[in-house]
């Protein structure tokens, strides 16, 4: 099977990392992958090539439509003659959908297409006007262009059906995680503290992600100030694109809250698993998510999580951590304090349970099998597309608030 992937760009973010993991999971199974980045190469392209896939960069502008680039995309897809085209994220879905439609018309034959959705809130104030326009266009085209629409979780599926996407084509396939990469590493605990000048016994909370409004870092920094009032010895690390000392807006926010002495800005990391395995608690402060990849990675490292209740986060965490309402720094801080105040053995048990949950329900091997089955169904038109989507477990009230062990 030959699969051409069309994606907006290749930073090491959630959806892009899912693509990378799927490529790795399918190695040795007679599957050929070609990845087309619409805009730029970014940090993940080299890793995808190392995993055995071809990568092409279209070089499209991020702000202005370029018809000649769309023509080039059509030519590439026609030249590559894939069995299936998989697109990723809204811009990839729209541009890839238009290109596949053109190839279908030119060839006078079917070319199976699956869209990929990795967001939940279509109306997020953190999205640009262009992105909101693209999502509306995709909703209008969803009845006719894609053969399947793969969502990263049930919350994303529901939100997009409510937003006008074709319900019968929507399939919830959770992100999968590599347990051979993200795993416990006891030595990371002390190394993290030594590398950043923290006391050996200092509790350390981490957050990781790109610098974007939906991640709500002001919420996190406000919670940090409150945590330090209760646990002044606590320390915090922030990693990801834009989370560095060159980000004057973030640096000023940290300074204005009076927490600069307790925070370290690390920027993007080549090996995030080392950081995740060294934390006492991982935090997610977002006001919108799909199924957050970094939460699954932290859980695989046996690091308990405190997160905002957005997208499918509560379902992912289950009974192994705590979720709180978004945009509520008081609740986030209290949950962090409660988790850090647990006996070390109790917190360690939550970490073990977290990894077991990822292994049981969210392995990358299981995700690849679901993707592969969808590709076969839309290629052969065998069975209905929604047969590929197993029921998604509902989140109980008990699963939403666990930090105190109640």
Give the residue ranges of DSSP H helices in 196-306: 217-230, 248-256, 272-278, 293-300
- Say yes or no: 65 and 108 in one domain: yes
Query: Computed over its alpha carbons, how large is the radius of gyration of the chain?
Result: 21
DSSP string, 190-210: HHHHHHTT--TT--EEEEE--
CATH number where 14 lies: 3.40.50.2000
- Say yes or no: 199 and 335 in one domain: yes
Q: Is residue 45 one of the residues assigned to a domain?
A: yes
Q: Is residue 181 one of the residues assigned to a domain?
A: no
Rounded percentage of the chain residues whose pLDDT exceeds 70:
92
Q: Return d(Cα 86, Cα 368) in angstroms, integer.
A: 13
β pairing state of 2-7 and 32-37: parallel
Q: Is residue 42 one of the residues assigned to a domain?
A: yes
116-145 pLDDT per residue, tens: 999 887 765 456 778 889 999 999 999 999
Tell me, what DSSP letter sits at residue 81?
A: -
- Say yes or no: 216 and 356 in one domain: yes
311-324 pLDDT per residue, tens: 999 999 999 999 99
- Say yes or no: 159 and 301 in one domain: no
Record the pTM.
0.84
The least confident of 44-58, 61-75, 261-275, 293-307 is 61-75
Confidence class of residue 182 from pLDDT cuts 50, 70 and 90? Answer: very high
* Mean pLDDT of the 90-117 span: 95
Number of domains in the chain: 2
* Mean pLDDT of the 191-203 span: 97
Q: Is residue 225 one of the residues assigned to a domain?
A: yes
* Mean pLDDT of the 77-105 span: 97
- Say yes or no: 57 and 198 in one domain: no
3-state SS record for 52-68: CCEEEECCCCCCCCCHH
Confidence class of residue 270 from pLDDT cuts 50, 70 and 90? Answer: confident
Q: Return d(Cα 277, Cα 131) in angstroms, integer.
A: 35
DSSP string, 284-299: E--S--SS-HHHHHHH
DSSP string, 101-160: HHHHHHHTS---EEEEE--S-TT-TTS-HHHHHHHHHHHHHTTTS-SEEEESSHHHHHHH
- Spatial CA neighbour of 151 closest among 11, 36, 291: 291
- Say yes or no: 305 and 252 in one domain: yes
**What is the four-CA torsion angle of 117, 123, 124, 125, rounded to 10 degrees?**
150
Q: Is residue 398 one of the residues assigned to a domain?
A: no
Q: What is the mean pLDDT of the chain?
A: 92
- Say yes or no: 62 and 160 in one domain: yes
β pairing state of 235-239 and 263-267: parallel
User: Is residue 399's pLDDT more than 90?
Assistant: no
Q: Is residue 143 one of the residues assigned to a domain?
A: yes
Confidence class of residue 12 from pLDDT cuts 50, 70 and 90? Answer: confident
- Say yes or no: 70 and 195 in one domain: no
Two tokens, residue 366: 């299981």
Q: Is residue 248 one of the residues assigned to a domain?
A: yes
- Say yes or no: 355 and 371 in one domain: no
pLDDT at 381: 60
Q: Is residue 399 one of the residues assigned to a domain?
A: no
Q: Contact 221/296 with Cβ under 8 angstroms?
A: no
User: Is residue 267's pLDDT more than 70?
Assistant: yes
Q: Contact 180/145 with Cβ under 8 angstroms?
A: no
341-354 pLDDT per residue, tens: 999 999 999 999 99
The domain containing residue 30 runs over which residues? 2-174+364-388
């Amino acid at each position: 099977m030959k699969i051409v992937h069309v994606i907006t760009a290749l930073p090491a973010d959630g959806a892009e990392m899912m693509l990378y993991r799927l490529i790795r999971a399918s190695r040795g199974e007679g599957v050929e992958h070609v990845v087309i980045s619409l805009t730029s190469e970014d940090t993940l392209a080299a890793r995808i090539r190392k995993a055995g896939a071809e990568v092409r960069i279209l070089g499209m502008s991020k702000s202005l439509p370029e018809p000649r680039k769309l023509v080039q995309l059509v030519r590439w897809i026609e030249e590559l003659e894939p069995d299936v085209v998989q697109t990723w994220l809204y811009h990839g879905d729209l541009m890839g959908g238009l290109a596949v439609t053109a190839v279908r018309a030119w060839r006078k034959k079917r070319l199976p297409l699956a869209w990929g959705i990795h967001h939940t809130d279509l109306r997020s104030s953190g999205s640009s006007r262009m992105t909101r326009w693209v999502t509306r266009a995709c909703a209008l085209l969803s009845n006719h262009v894609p053969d399947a629409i793969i969502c990263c979780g049930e919350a994303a599926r529901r939100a997009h059906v409510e937003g006008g996407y074709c319900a019968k084509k929507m399939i919830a396939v959770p992100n999968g995680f590599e347990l051979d990469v993200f795993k416990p590493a006891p030595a990371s605990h002390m190394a993290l503290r030594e590398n950043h000048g923290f006391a050996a016994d200092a509790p350390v909370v981490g957050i990781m992600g790109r610098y974007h409004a939906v991640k709500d870092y002001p919420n996190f920094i406000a919670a940090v100030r409150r945590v330090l009032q209760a646990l002044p010895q606590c320390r915090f690390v922030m990693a990801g694109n834009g989370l560095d000392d060159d980000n004057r807006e973030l640096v000023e926010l940290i300074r204005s809250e009076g927490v600069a002495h307790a925070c370290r800005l690390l920027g993007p990391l080549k090996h995030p698993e080392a950081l995740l395995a060294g934390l006492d608690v991982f935090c997610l402060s977002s006001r919108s998510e799909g199924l957050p990849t970094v939460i699954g990675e932290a859980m695989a490292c046996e690091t308990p999580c405190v997160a905002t209740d957005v997208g499918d986060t509560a379902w992912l965490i289950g009974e192994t951590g705590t979720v709180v309402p978004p945009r509520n720094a008081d609740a986030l801080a209290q949950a962090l304090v409660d988790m850090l105040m647990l006996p070390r053995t109790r917190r360690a048990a939550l970490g073990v349970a977290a990894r077991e949950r990822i292994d049981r329900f969210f392995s990358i091997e299981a995700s690849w099998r679901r993707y592969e089955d969808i590709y076969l169904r839309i290629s052969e038109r065998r069975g209905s597309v929604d047969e590929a989507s197993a029921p998604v477990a509902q989140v109980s009230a008990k699963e939403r608030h666990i930090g105190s062990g109640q």
